Amino acid sequence: MRTLSTFILLIILVLAYLPAPKAQEINLRKQSKMRECGTTATAEDFEIAMARIKQMRKNRELNLEAQALDPPTDAPYYIPLSIHIVRNSQRNGGLALSALYRAMEDLNRIWQPVGVQFFIYGEIDYINDTAHYYLPGGDSDAEKAARDALRQVNPVGHTINVYITNIAGLNGESTRSTRRIQGVLMNIKVMGAVDDPATKDDNEYNPSTFAHEIGHYFDLFHTHETDRGVECPNGSNCAEAGDLICDTPADPDLNDKADQACVYDKSAMTPAGCSGTYNPPTRNIMSYSGRPCRDQFTPDQIKVILYCLRNQRPNLITKGARYVDPLASPSNEDCTYNSPCQLIRKAVEVAQDGDFIFIKPAYNHVSKSSPLSGKTVTLMRWGTSGEVNITN
Ligand SMILES: [Zn+2]
């Protein structure tokens, strides 16, 4: 006899992005000796960034940018992450799930003002291969190829693939939207793994490198970027040099130049041909300031992120997340972010197994009902206020 198809309804009322106050208490004593980030930008990336800024300016003139100017922090986009935890071939040494969840909380806390939140899509993928468990962190072609080889293991389309492993001397490395091979690599130590005697990396959990690498994934440059020329401290060339973003003050590279209180030590000289003295953004996520210091994006960085999401990476919006808003038009059929459905039933209908359904709080009661039968979905609250209660 066929059994009735099961329905599984998982309710998570406390979303992962609730503030994690403990994050600020992390010990500041030990500044990492490791290279913070291996993410690089090519000439093409700068051309694209310049074109994007031009287009954004045009949109602003045409008043098409209202959404980006007013980040939907109470109705965020939800972006799926595919998490790949690398272990050695004996299946040992991978990141603990408790550490992963702490990293997710910090990521979402930092990204909350952007109007973007992240969720873990699908099962955690465990990659048991010692060759991928100890990656080189250098800039040679062979070393880069070794890192790209991992990025090609079990990638899941339309999601951000995050690989957590050991990377010698490197905290993390992302891929800008132009790269053929995509994926964020995170050092297992930065993500909170306990010490592994097999690796010499002297590092520990920090709450901001993950958020920093995801920033690169949405095409942000470092605030101290110099490939396009050094940004002058008075900001006179801010649109053509540095990170091409004018509301991030000129940054001389804060590695070892910011103290435990996140104060800049004023050690950098004014570059030749420039005037003004540096007043760098010691709390900016895309800087190399102290890792626990970094928790801010500027409004213009947020504009770049949202523009990149909507234009270069729109596929991230379409996978895994359905949206329900009681105030939406009843004729909405697809339950997307831009066209949410009015009824949960509709969202369940169009959802695929494993999808997350985000519900606006005006629904204070959701009852498990027959249309859920056969679907495995996760119902979550959409936004930062109100509650959605579930009744049988
Ligand atoms: Zn970086």
How many CB atoms are located within 10 Å of the residue 343 CB?
16
pLDDT at 68 exceeding the cut of 50: no
CA 37 to ligand 1 center in whole angstroms: 4
> Rounded to the nearest 5°, which phi and psi values hold at 323?
-125, 135
Q: In this structure, are 337 and 224 located in the same domain?
A: no
Expressed as residue numbers, the domain containing 384 is 8-18+323-391
Both 174 and 231 in a single domain?
yes
Query: 338-388 pLDDT, tens per residue?
Result: 899 998 888 988 998 889 999 887 765 666 554 566 788 888 888 866 666
Q: Which residues contact 66 (CB under 8 A, 6 or more apart)?
A: none
**Residues 6 or more apart from 195 whose CB is under 8 A from it?**
189
Length of the chain: 392
Are 189 and 330 part of one and the same domain? no
Task: Indicate whether 363 and 227 sit together in one domain.
Answer: no
What mean pLDDT do residues 141-148 have?
A: 97
Task: Tell whether 307 and 369 lie within a shared domain.
Answer: no
Query: What mean pLDDT comes out for the span 294-308?
Result: 93
> At residue 185, does pLDDT exceed 50?
yes
Please determine, for residue 18, whether its predicted confidence score (pLDDT) is greater than 90. Answer: no
Distance 223 CA to ligand 1 centre (A): 9
Phi, psi of 125 (to 5 degrees): -95, 120
pLDDT at site 388 = 65
Q: pLDDT tens digits for 92-119? A: 999 999 999 999 999 999 999 999 999 9
123 and 260 in a common domain:
yes
pLDDT band, residue 178 (cuts 50/70/90): very high
Q: Which of 297, 319, 341 is the last residue of a domain?
A: 319
Final residue before a domain boundary, out of 319, 346, 363: 319
Give me the number of domains the chain comprises.
Answer: 2
Q: How far is the CA of 352 from the centre of ligand 1 (A)?
A: 35
Q: 384 and 270, same structural domain? A: no
DSSP, collapsed to helix, strand or coil, labels residue 166 as: strand
| Distance (Å) from CA 279 to ligand 1 centroid | 20
Is 163 within 8 Å of 84 (Cβ atoms)?
yes
CA distance readout (Å), 199 to 133, 137, 167: 10, 13, 9
What whole-number percentage of the chain has pLDDT above 70? Answer: 81
Check: CB of residue 373 under 8 Å from CB of residue 4: yes
Q: Mean pLDDT over residues 62-75, rounded?
A: 59
Residue 102 lies in a domain: yes
pLDDT at 10: 37
Check: CB of residue 224 under 8 Å from CB of residue 284: no
Assess if residue 2 is contained within a domain: no
Rounded to the nearest whole angstrom, what is the distance from the C-alpha of residue 54 to the centroid of ligand 1? 24
Summarised one tens digit per residue, pLDDT across range 188-223 is: 999 998 767 666 666 578 899 999 999 999 999 999
Most confident of 51-55, 215-219, 308-312, 329-333: 215-219
Render pLDDT for 25-56 as a digit per residue (tens, 0 to 9): 333 334 456 788 888 888 889 988 888 888 87
What pLDDT score does 19 carry? 35
Q: Ligand 1 centroid to 278 CA: how many Å?
A: 20
In terms of Cβ atoms closer than 10 Å to its own Cβ (0-12, 13-18, 19+), residue 62 is: exposed
- Do 160 and 248 lie in one domain? The reply is yes
Task: Give the pLDDT score at 327.
Answer: 87
Q: What is the pLDDT of residue 229?
A: 93
> Ligand 1: distance of its center to the CA of 383 in Å?
29
Query: What secondary structure does DSSP assign to 116-144, as a single string?
Result: EEEEE-SSPEEEE-HHHHEE--SSSHHHH
- Residues 1-19: what's their mean pLDDT? 34
Q: What does the pLDDT average to over 3-26? A: 34
227 plus 362 within the same structural domain: no
From residue 115, alpha-carbon distances to 68, 77, 110, 186, 193 in Å are: 9, 6, 10, 23, 29
Distance 57 CA to ligand 1 centre (A): 25
pLDDT exceeds 80 at position 57: no
Boundary (domain end) residue, out of 319, 349, 374: 319
In the chain, what percentage of residues exceed pLDDT 90? Answer: 61
Residue 280: pLDDT over 80: yes
Q: What is the DSSP letter of 90?
A: T
Residue ranges near ligand 1 (ion) with Cβ within 5 Å: 37, 39
pTM of the prediction?
A: 0.87
pLDDT bracket for residue 7 (50, 70, 90)? very low
Which range has the top average pLDDT, 22-26, 61-65, 286-290? Answer: 286-290
pLDDT of residue 30: 40
- How far, in Å, from the CA of 91 to the mean position of ligand 1? 30
57 SS3 class = helix
Separation of 224 CA from ligand 1 center, angstroms? 10
Average pLDDT of the chain, as a whole number: 84
Examine the domain organization and report whether 187 and 57 are in the same domain: yes
Predicted confidence (pLDDT) at residue 251 exceeds the cutoff of 90: yes
